[in-house]
Amino acid sequence: MSARPLTVMLVAGEASGDDRGAGLARALRSRLGEGVRFVGIGGERMAGEGIASPFDISEVSILGLLEGLIAYPRIVRRVRDTVALAVRERPDLVVLIDSWGFTLRIAQQLRRILPRLPLIKYVGPQVWATRPGRARTLAAAVDHLLSIHAFDAPWFEAQGLPVTFVGNSALTVDFSRADPARLRTKIGAKAGDPILLVLPGSRRSEIEHVLPAFEDAVRQLKEDWPNLHVVVPAAATVADLVKARVAGWPHRVHVLEGEATKLDAMKAATVALACSGTVTTEVALAGAPMVVAYRVGAVTYAILRRLIRTPWVTLFNIAAQDFVAPEFIQAACAGPKLAQAVGELLGDAERRARQVLAQYAALDRMGRGGPDPSEAAADAVLRVLADQRLSTAT
């Protein structure tokens, strides 16, 4: 009789977590082959690795205090569903990926119901920027942290939580097959035409708060630059919402779906207008200068502005300790200001080149060129499992 395969449960609540979960699943399968099976919660990328999610993760991809309060009953229900899945499948180990509020509740419930089940958190809360007390909360809920930032460890280890730095998967996006010319042909752009890459986020709340300002900026930019081509890669979690909203824009917009087309667009972009998030690291890696913007609900912002300890929100700006890419947050996230900042980049090739070089330098500080994070994460997961089994045996 063959041995029971290792059962790993992966839980992701948003697009970036879905990407990390898929990478981790591939890395574990490359090591264990038929000796591992996966269950869990994720999006289309994890589904591509055979992980069938019982619900759409857009239901739990929430950002903002008011938005969270409104969605709270749904979040509680989906936490309950996820815990029930773990109880039913009896995994050997659970990896909870990012999505702080959602995955913390799952961890706390699993800790009570299945106290001997190893729990790993993949991506910790940014306690060095805000709410350092979360380090203690996480240490009480999980057994190990896989960190994507080299500077995370001291904050969590001080609370007794072991940390393994694995690196940021956004720094390893493979652009080798990306073809800017293919994108230009697809959208009908001539060789000298500028391309504006618009990235409005992967959460519904981001689309609602950020996209209206982006629309105003694009309208002004199209008036100033008639040959400007606008492309909007839509994350799978919000693709329908993005397409519905941009359909009413008074000028042509190319909404793109699919990973290959998105990478083509990143390499082809003259300038990007991006919602703050993982995607800014990917765009910087592609070599496109950008303007970063973000907006949340008024109540959420009033609270966050008292908690956040850093003047920057973009990770490579934090790494550089400088506004390498300009940021327009909350009230500053307005069409005229964004149009001016993007226009300044569109009109100055030397300025674009300087920003790209500064972005590359910041990415180097973040670990660009290091080991593949998915491979490092897989090694760490297997070590944690081996240590747990050893401690149980003794």
Query: Does residue 195 carry a pLDDT above 70?
Result: yes
The string of pLDDT tens digits covering residues 313-367 is 898 999 899 999 999 999 999 999 999 999 999 999 999 999 999 999 999 988 8
pLDDT value of position 310: 76
Min mean pLDDT across 67-76, 189-198, 259-268 is at 67-76
Segment 52-62 mean pLDDT: 87
Return the amino acid letter for 5.
P
Average pLDDT of every residue of the chain: 91
The Cα–Cα gap between 120 and 158 comes to 17
pLDDT value of position 243: 93
- Rounded to 5 degrees, what are φ and ψ at 6? -60, 130
Categorize the per-residue pLDDT at 203 as very low, low, confident or very high, splitting at 50, 70 and 90: confident
- Which residue intervals of the chain bear CATH 3.40.50.2000? 6-167+371-393, 180-366
Categorize the per-residue pLDDT at 371 as very low, low, confident or very high, splitting at 50, 70 and 90: confident
Query: Does residue 77 carry a pLDDT above 70?
Result: yes
pLDDT value of position 129: 75
Q: Which residues of 31-57 are buried (b: 16+ CB within 10 A; e: fewer)?
A: eeeeebbbbbbbbbbbeebebebeeeb
Categorize the per-residue pLDDT at 33 as very low, low, confident or very high, splitting at 50, 70 and 90: very high
Instruction: Tell me the pTM.
Output: 0.78
Dihedral sign computed on CA atoms, order 158, 164, 165, 168: negative
pLDDT value of position 122: 98
Check if the beta carbon of residue 119 is closer than 8 Å to that of residue 108: no
pLDDT value of position 326: 97
Categorize the per-residue pLDDT at 387 as very low, low, confident or very high, splitting at 50, 70 and 90: confident
Min mean pLDDT across 68-77, 91-100, 125-134, 266-275 is at 68-77
Categorize the per-residue pLDDT at 1 as very low, low, confident or very high, splitting at 50, 70 and 90: very low
The string of pLDDT tens digits covering residues 270-300 is 999 999 988 999 999 999 999 999 998 776 7
Segment 304-312 mean pLDDT: 72
State the CATH architecture for 180-366. 3-Layer(aba) Sandwich (3.40)
The string of pLDDT tens digits covering residues 103-134 is 999 999 999 999 999 999 999 998 877 788 99
Order of strands across the sheet that contains 254-256 = 254-256, 229-233, 195-199, 271-275, 290-294, 327-329
Per CATH, the number for 6-167+371-393 is 3.40.50.2000
The Cα–Cα gap between 98 and 317 comes to 21
